[in-house]
Amino acid sequence: MDPKSVLNFANDEGVKFVDLRFTDLPGSWQHISFPISQLTEESFTEGFGFDASSIRGWANISESDMLLIPDPSRFWIDPFFEEPTLCLFADVVEPLTHQGYIYDPRSVAERAEAYLRSTGLADVAYFGPEAEFFVFDHVSFLNEPHHAFFRFESGEGNWTSDNPDENLGFRIRTKEGYVPVPPFDSLQDLRSEIALNLEAVGISPECHHHEVASGGQCEIDFRFASMLTTADNLMLFKYIVRNTALQYGKSVTFMPKPLYGDNGSGMHCHQSLWKDGQPLFGGDQYADLSEMALYYIGGLLKHAPAVVAFAAPTTNSYKRLVPGYEAPVNLAYSARNRSAAIRIPVLSKNPKTKRLEFRPPDPSCNPYLALSAMLMAGLDGILNKIHPGEPLEKDIYDMDEAEKLHIPRLPASLEEALAALEADHEFLLAGGVFTRELITRHIEYKRKREVEALRLRPHPIEFQLYFDV
């Protein structure tokens, strides 16, 4: 698509506003709206000026002027706004140089794709994420110096089985929520409407179903695409899911672990490399993979402790990444074995289906940074011929402790993951994809705003454990 096509579409649809979408450093979507009369062909090169000083993780007030450059390759009509509104993704650029802003996550993903092509190894990286989420009927929380709590409610939650009102007894038991039919699954119609709304904005849903946890855990899969398109799709996906749920009077969270004692929400990421329209991960090695695919796995496993600082980037992420809840905490690879950090799907021998599934990520991540970090780790493995060693064919959870000692593990906390990133990030700097400034800003932001915020606050469980000491 080109700017003229965007303008023609806006005219045909009677659009009144244009809404530019961009992403802050932690991964939240932001937007600014303009009357459609302000969108011209020149807007796609000259951009729209805005103040970036209040965007999380971005500029200081002394250097806050930035430009939003609309990307004409992708546009849609917002399905929730009352007035017809044309939406576009936008890149954030420096007004003096017209180069991508160093803290703009989408610019990182664009540089990652350019670097992939520059290596000559491949011309496209395909990603297919599986973002899980919870649907709640009520959510409240508070953090005061003398008072802290959270509470959520779900009509499906097994903890509501004694509800004296509107209780017909159908509740999903802990860890027994995977694909039951109604009346246990009460969210079928909501997920179907989400799927229809996704189609309306250009995302192709492939299936939807209830997930393992009680309390309204769901998954809606959509078709894989190139890395940048997939990151864009994830931002739009979360927006559509949340706002469709709001129309049903429900609230969605992509927190990795909102519910104690049950499965958390992951975002397993399928990925493969292609060149000239041909798949590169099919071959005659383990699980019908190519040598290139094994080296990609080797790089991803080697750098995984640093990668999860972007791919599992919250303190809550590491309440999911613990043994016993289908969480892939062990750095190994295997065909079919879902207890390994990297799984090789073996549903078909067709080379076009050959891919790997990296299982530690969760949907709290900034997809532009997380997918870029995965790609850079895999490319480092290929360029440096990092072999992943022998696959792990046994179920890790059935091993005794002596056997497990030989299997490296992911960091056990966000603090450990940030330390791993601090020690291992040279692979991210190749081709100028990530910058030291962005990595340092990410680490500092997470330590100050999240790690320290949690560390300094008394927790309700501490009162239960220690009040009477």
Residues serving a catalytic function are: 51, 130, 132, 211, 219, 268, 338, 357, 359
CA gap 59, 139 in Å, rounded: 33
Length of the chain: 469
166 neighbors 263 (Cβ within 8 angstroms): no
Whether residue 176 is annotated as binding a ligand: the answer is no
φ, ψ of residue 253 in degrees (nearest 5):
-125, 140
CA dist., res. 122 & res. 143, Å (int): 49
SS in 3 state form for 160-208?
HCCCCCCCCCCCECCCCCCCCCCCCCCCHHHHHHHHHHHHHCCCCEEEE
Q: Residue 210 annotated as binding?
A: no
Q: Tell me whether residue 359 is annotated as binding.
A: yes
Q: Which two tokens stand for residue 447?
A: 């330590």
- Establish whether 41 is an annotated binding residue: no
Residue 224 is assigned to a ligand binding site: yes
Is 211 a known ligand-binding residue? yes
Amino acid, res. 325: Y
Q: What is the largest CA-CA distance in the chain?
A: 72
Locate the DSSP E strands across 7-57: 17-23, 29-35, 48-51
Tokens of 343: 């799984």
Residue 215 CB partners (closer than 8 Å, separation 6+)? 134, 136, 152, 154, 156, 157, 158, 172, 259, 262
Can you tell me the distance from the alpha carbon of 213 to that of 422, in angstroms, rounded to the nearest whole number?
34
319 annotated binding-site participant: no
- The answer to the question of whether 222 is labelled as a binding residue is yes
83 is in an annotated binding site: no
Whether 312 and 420 have beta carbons less than 8 Å apart is answered as: no
Say if residue 352 carries a ligand binding annotation: yes
Q: What is residue 282's DSSP assignment?
A: B
Contact 366, 446 (CB under 8 A): no
Strands 342-344 and 333-335: parallel
* Residue 158 labeled ligand binder: no
The β-bridge partners of 32 are 20
State yes or no: 271 annotated in a binding site.
yes
Q: Which two tokens stand for residue 367?
A: 């997809």
Is 263 annotated as ligand-binding?
A: yes
131's tokens:
């973002």
266 marked as part of a ligand binding site: no
The annotation places the binding site at: 130, 132, 206, 211, 219, 222-224, 263-264, 268, 270-272, 320, 326, 338, 352, 357, 359
The annotation places the binding site for Mg(2+) at: 130, 132, 211, 219, 268, 357
The annotation places the binding site for ATP at: 206, 222-224, 270-272, 338, 352
The annotation places the binding site for L-glutamate at: 263-264, 320, 326, 338, 359
